[in-house]
Chains A and B, each alone.
Chain A
Amino acid sequence: DTAVSQTPKYLVTQMGNDKSIKCEQNLGHDTMYWYKQDSKKFLKIMFSYNNKELIINETVPNRFSPKSPDKAHLNLHINSLELGDSAVYFCASSPTSYSNQPQHFGDGTRLSIL
């Protein structure tokens, strides 16, 4: 009974390609997120959607485009991949916008750019 699931778990591709990462949550949460974790384990939010509406976009290049077809899904499409995009990308969800509600994370997608 996976709560937040991401696919694929590993993604190896060449510079310049376009790729997508999918995320689904079965917790009934309203809000979903994408985080990027770099090689030094530093975690930073990229995007957040609440009920399919974009609410956070943290100075992420236009090559990254999130899409939320419904509140249980938040996909991340990346165009023209660059070496610096190599990282682990985590999807997360939370029930509401209230600050005391924890976020639930997926297991991550490790993206490697050759």
Chain B
Amino acid sequence: GNSVTQMEGPVTLSEEAFLTINCTYTATGYPSLFWYVQYPGEGLQLLLKATKADDKGSNKGFEATYRKETTSFHLEKGSVQVSDSAVYFCALRMDSSYKLIFGSGTRLLVRP
């Protein structure tokens, strides 16, 4: 079946460090891919998305590129801030499917 695998957390970084959170997927077709962020005590917010191979999604300094050859959608940010501390979820959605399939989430903790 379709699935998403994320690197396990927590990921602990110092402010201004470079961030990578790995995400790979398994799918029978060509899904749309998403990164959602969950700040403490809040719901999920869409961070960025990519709908076809080689698309790059970007928002708030975060980027992720849809790599069909490696079935990956790794999240990156050049310089993290304390306010980026949250749980990050990678997700996929297949054509004509209503449901999002989520990875297990990766907690990011950024220290001053």
Contact = CB atoms under 8 A, between A and B. Distances in A.
Interface of A: 4, 31, 33, 40-45, 48, 50, 55-56, 58, 90, 92, 94, 97-100, 102-108
Contacts of A108: 42-43
B17 interface: no
Contact of B105 (A41, A50, A94, A102): A41
- Chain B interface size range: 20 to 34
Contacts of A56: 98-99
Contact of A31 (B34, B41, B94, B98): B98
B98 A105 contact: no
Which 4 residue pairs across A and B have the least CB separation, nearest first?
A: A100-B51, A105-B43, A105-B44, A107-B43
Interface string B46-73: 1001010000000000000000000000
A40 B106 CA distance: 10
25 contacts: A31-B98, A33-B98, A41-B87, A41-B104, A41-B107, A42-B104, A43-B89, A43-B105, A45-B99, A45-B101, A48-B98, A90-B43, A92-B44, A97-B98, A98-B95, A99-B95, A99-B96, A100-B49, A102-B34, A103-B46, A103-B100, A105-B44, A106-B43, A107-B42, A108-B42
A107 B49 CA distance: 21
A31 B100 CA distance: 13
B24 to A, nearest CB: 17
A40 B44 contact: no
B102 A43 contact: yes
Contacts of A45: 99-101
A64 to B, nearest CB: 16
B83 interface: no
A100 B33 CA distance: 8
Contacts of A94: 98
Contact of B45 (A31, A40, A105): A105
A76 to B, nearest CB: 15
A38 B104 CA distance: 10
